[in-house]
Amino acid sequence: MKSALAIKKVGHAGTLDPFATGLLIILIGQGTKLSPFIMSHKKTYLATLRLGAETDTLDKTGKVVRTITVPDLSAEYIRRKAGAFVGDIEQTPPVYSAVRCKGSRAYKLARRGEDVTLKKRVVSISSLQMGSIALPDICFEVECSSGTYIRSLAADFGTSLGSGGHLISLRRLASGPFNVDQAQRSRELGQQSYRALQEGVIPMLTALSGMPGIEIDHTIAKGIRQGRQSALLGLGRDLNLGSVVGGHLKIICSGELVAVLKINASRRDTHGRLEISRVFS
């Protein structure tokens, strides 16, 4: 795809675990600058937890480190326990993860047999819905904040049920407004024509459809692209910046994305609260 579209830079908005499937947002060209804004979206996953066995990776790719007899659990009891995980919760990232520890990726240290201790972090679970329950397997769908580890969530859920567990399947269904049902299959990309590949690329403005924006003229656009903070004077004067969800504004000129501005909540004066976050050529 890179050579077919003459693209010099390619990135993504959130990795998937090696055993996982589903939506992976690919960023190309100037679109790679959108990564922090797209990655901040809520994610939706479909997962299957297998009770009774814990692994070192918290998924089916790891070594079993503990087995526990699975008790006779009712569906009502399982759903009630799941409810305790909805909201803001603390979780410890998996040892086998890309979280940085001692200046390196945690999974690299773990593979070398080094001791890895990761700090707990607060994540938000918007919903946790049970699907099919056929013990020892429990299928569930979860909507969560960016940075949530579904492997950790599943392991903690299994522990709360008294038997431990690990993930045997994980599929990302959605990230913000992007849904796996609208995605292109990776194995088909190499078989598509140049025109088909072009048509499949989502414009940057569309990718930021949920972000509020301001229309500007070419003079202001030039100043912003040159990085002049003075070009922002007067922008946002008619907006209640404190009410802007996400703390960012997109700047548009003649249908093109010029920049994304950050709203500095610590500044009280309207003009000084806007700062240039990303500029697009």
**Tens digit of each residue's pLDDT, the chain (281 residues):** 444 555 678 888 888 888 999 999 989 889 999 999 998 889 999 999 999 999 999 999 999 999 999 999 999 999 999 999 999 999 999 988 888 888 788 888 888 888 888 899 999 999 999 999 999 999 999 999 999 999 999 999 999 999 999 999 999 999 998 999 988 887 777 666 667 667 778 899 999 988 888 899 999 999 999 988 888 877 766 566 655 666 888 999 999 999 999 887 665 554 457 888 999 98
- Tokens 């994540």 found at: 123
Asked whether the beta carbons of 86 and 127 are under 8 A apart, the reply is yes
In angstroms, the CA 207 to CA 37 distance is: 10
DSSP strands (E only) in the chain: 10-12, 21-22, 26-28, 43-51, 53-55, 64-67, 87-91, 100-101, 104-105, 121-134, 137-144, 165-175, 178-179, 213-215, 248-253, 256-263, 274-279
Judge whether 217 counts as a catalytic residue.
no
- The catalytic residue among 17, 137, 156, 269 is 17
* Three-class DSSP category at 85: coil
pLDDT of residue 204: 92
* Amino acid type, 147: G
pLDDT of residue 275: 86
pLDDT of residue 266: 62
Query: Using alpha carbons only, what angle is made at residue 109 by residues 105 and 113, rounded to the nearest 5 degrees?
Result: 165
Alpha helices, DSSP H, located in the chain: 35-39, 75-83, 106-111, 150-160, 186-189, 194-200, 204-207, 218-225
Query: Using alpha carbons only, what angle is made at residue 251 by residues 249 and 257, rounded to the nearest 5 degrees?
Result: 120
Q: What is the pTM of this model?
A: 0.86
Of 197, 210, 274, 194, give the one whose Cα is nearest residue 246. 210
The values of phi and psi at residue 212, to 5°, are -65, 150
Rg of the chain in Å (alpha carbons): 22
pLDDT of residue 80: 97
pLDDT of residue 1: 47
pLDDT of residue 106: 83
Beta bridge partners of 45: 142, 172
Tokens, residue 51: 């009770």
Assess whether the previous peptide bond of 136 is cis (omega < 30° from 0).
yes
Tokens, residue 230: 């003075």
* Amino acid type, 1: M
Alpha helices, DSSP H, located in 51-177: 75-83, 106-111, 150-160
In angstroms, the CA 224 to CA 217 distance is: 11
